[in-house]
Amino acid sequence: MSTETIFTKIINREIPADIIYEDEQALAFTDINPQAPFHVLIIPKSPIATINDVTTENAALVGHLYVVAAKLAKEHGFAEDGYRVVMNCNGHGGQTVYHIHLHMLAGKAMGWPPYQDKL
Q: Which residues bind ligand 5GP (CB under 6 A)?
A: 6, 17, 29-33, 41, 88, 94-97
Give catalytic status of residue 101 as yes or no: yes
Rank residues 8 and 25 by Cβ distance to ligand 5GP and give the closer one.
8
Rank residues 29 and 78 by Cβ distance to ligand 5GP and give the closer one.
29
Min. distance of Cβ 17 from ligand 5GP in angstroms?
Answer: 5
| Residue tagged active-site, from 39, 76, 101, 103 | 101
Q: How are strands ordered across the β-sheet holding 84-86?
A: 19-22, 26-30, 38-44, 102-106, 84-86
Sign of CA dihedral 108, 114, 38, 67: positive
Active site residues: 101
